[in-house]
Structure 1
Amino acid sequence: MTAQQPRLSKKLYERELLRLQQELVKLQEWVRAEGVRLVVVFEGRDAAGKGGAIKRVTQYLNPRVARIVALPAPTDRQRGQWYFQRYVEQLPAAGEIVLFDRSWYNRAGVERVMGFCTDEEYWQFLRQCPTFERMLIEAGIELRKYWFSVSDVEQERRFRSRLNDPMRRWKLSPMDTESLTRWEDYSRAKDEMFQHTDMPDSPWHVVESDDKRRSRINMISHLLSTLPYTDVSKPPVSLPPRPASKGYQRPPRDLQKYVPDHAAELERRAGR
């Protein structure tokens, strides 16, 4: 967050976010009605805000239509497959949206920097990736790629805030802390990756994310602007009248196990 860009006000952020989320629901219905296959790739440095952006994108979407893919480390069997194979298995069918919380670009980032792949595997990836993505696009898949950029100062601040927050400490892994000492290595890897994979038909879109509110608004707005979605008309829905009772009797309550009324206990403690 620079001096020229103060933090976006919460009121303005929440109002615009809700409007954009309404548009995302329209996008979802268009994807489903038209049989569109949409892939959105979220990449960037650790603590750059990818997860928060994905959460806001999917908050009101149907999980049967919009799916988040965050793959764990590959198994021994997957390591013996073609590198892109396990990602191909996650691609959308007609009428689906898939959001990759990190993607095949792991090979150009963390695997390269941390030495989890060989030089031969790395350069093979950079040669094959443009072809792989062109195959997706030629098959009719809508592919969007976002790189969340965060400054070294803001990244460290977020790491330190996680250290002191028991609700978010799980987000801080040894791999994350390692990224602090390898900042320039990750920068070089990102530059090399962009040089080979930032293509006219499959470009990278950089999201400045020192201000998370701005980054979410900017990313969602851009995504919507790149797709020719329309408002899909749906038949009106009305509730039928409830039919008259046919003599059903509910079983006695003491025959069932109910969860304790924790809410009532809270009210008692509050003196209500």
Structure 2
Amino acid sequence: MKEEITEDWLDVELKNTLDEDYEIELEDAVLSLKIREIYERTQGPSIPRREYFTQLLRLQAELIKLQDWVARTGEKIVVLFEGRDSAGKGGVIKRITQRLNPRIVRVVALPAPSDREKTQWYFQRYVPHLPAGGEIVLFDRSWYNRAGVERVMGFASDDQVEQFFEDVPEFERMLVRSGIRVVKYWFSITDEEQQMRFQIRIHDPLKQWKLSPMDLQSRIRWEDYTKAKEEMFARTNIPEAPWYIVPGNDKKRARLNCIDHLLSLVPYEEVAQEDVELPERVFNPDYERAVLPPELYVPSRY
């Protein structure tokens, strides 16, 4: 009887887990019928949903092992996610962190620099966010803003850009020498795919917040961004911290491939866990639970 109860409970928990995944996947599904029809015709079939979730859960289980190993060994890992607007960086970051401990694995997405920060050493505002021992930091855009948006949009002078290219290889070598593993991903999508994703954002009320004036400018300056990206690869792809390009037109495959590749770069091992036993609740026969006023409770509308 006890085994049946345990199996029923595990079944419910598994279904709840899948429900969470479906909720996240709805962000790709909330489209008008017309846009969905066009998107599916241009995108082609993706990986079947059942296979996708099976592989995603398997990889997320490995990420938990990686997390435990990092915490146990005191490793320090930095992962940079770069790419064009709407290339899928946020989607893969969300799947990486979905089941991990935010005290160990955290995301850094810095806003535009303040007037004070503009007068600092360029890398200064990124340094406080670097990991201590036992931490993984995921940068949703990073110091490479200077090689991309700041350069293309004219927020940085030619001299500042040139100084960045001279400094960044040594900066990253310093990080590696200090014991930080530096991983750099560039998410690559085609011109047509970005146009379609922008159209989706324009017509989907749940995604309009993702579309900024800077995103619209990136469409106009597609070729300028391409040239900037090519020079960035040529001057910052160093052996100590190489670039890895993730083909991103198929979102699901991009997520799985990126997570799988990240796991392959770190020689983590499964960490033995201590057995956990739930202690018995202390029961006090003289204690009477207070009756709380009903206005303290959230209304049960669902």
TM-score (ref. length: structure 1): 0.94
Q: 1:66 aligns with which of 100, 105, 113?
A: 105
Query: Aligned partners of 1:228 and 1:247: how far apart in 2?
Result: 55
Per the alignment, in what secondary structure is the counterpart of residue 60 of structure 1? coil
- Deviation of 1:2 (Å): 12
Per the alignment, in what secondary structure is the counterpart of residue 51 of structure 1? helix
What is the match of residue 16 of structure 2? none
Work out whether 1:248 is the aligned partner of 2:287. Answer: yes
What is the match of residue 30 of structure 1? 69
Per the alignment, in what secondary structure is the counterpart of residue 244 of structure 2? strand
C-alpha contact (below 8 Å) 2:43/2:250 kept by paired residues = no
What is the match of residue 11 of structure 1? 50
Query: Aligned partners of 2:296 and 2:44: how far apart in 1?
Result: 55
C-alpha contact (below 8 Å) 2:79/2:182 kept by paired residues = yes
What is the match of residue 270 of structure 1? none
What is the match of residue 268 of structure 1? none
Query: Aligned partners of 1:186 and 1:90: how far apart in 2?
Result: 27
- Deviation of 1:252 (Å): 2.0
Q: 1:21 aligns with which of 44, 60, 66?
A: 60
Q: Which structure: greater helix fraction? A: 2
Work out whether 1:205 is the aligned partner of 2:239. Answer: no
Q: 1:137 aligns with which of 163, 176, 186?
A: 176
Q: Summarize deviations over 1:95-148 as a string: whole Å, max 9, x none.
A: 001000000000000000000000000000000000000000000001100000
- Deviation of 1:180 (Å): 0.8
Query: Aligned partners of 2:294 and 2:209: how far apart in 1?
Result: 41
What is the match of residue 191 of structure 1? 230
C-alpha contact (below 8 Å) 2:186/2:243 kept by paired residues = yes
Query: Aligned partners of 2:294 and 2:213: how far apart in 1?
Result: 50
Letter in 2 for 1:150: I
Per the alignment, in what secondary structure is the counterpart of residue 157 of structure 1? helix
TM-score (ref. length: structure 2): 0.84
Unaligned runs of 5+ in 2: 1-39
Residues 6-15 or 189-198, more deviating: 6-15
Q: 1:104 aligns with which of 138, 143, 154?
A: 143
Work out whether 1:149 is the aligned partner of 2:193. Answer: no
- Deviation of 1:6 (Å): 4.5
- Deviation of 1:10 (Å): 1.4
Work out whether 1:239 is the aligned partner of 2:292. Answer: no
- Deviation of 1:253 (Å): 3.1
- Deviation of 1:255 (Å): 6.7
Query: Aligned partners of 1:151 and 1:223: how far apart in 2?
Result: 23
Across the two proteins, how many residue pairs are aligned to each other?
263
What is the match of residue 269 of structure 1? none
Q: 1:225 aligns with which of 243, 249, 264?
A: 264
Per the alignment, in what secondary structure is the counterpart of residue 16 of structure 1? helix
Residue identity (%)? 56
Query: Aligned partners of 2:123 and 2:41: how far apart in 1?
Result: 38
Per the alignment, in what secondary structure is the counterpart of residue 262 of structure 1? coil
Name segments (4+ residues, structure 1) moved above 3 Å. 1-6
CA RMSD of aligned residues (A): 1.7
Unaligned runs of 5+ in 1: 264-272
1:144/1:51 CA distance change after superposition, 3 Å: same
Letter in 2 for 1:201: E
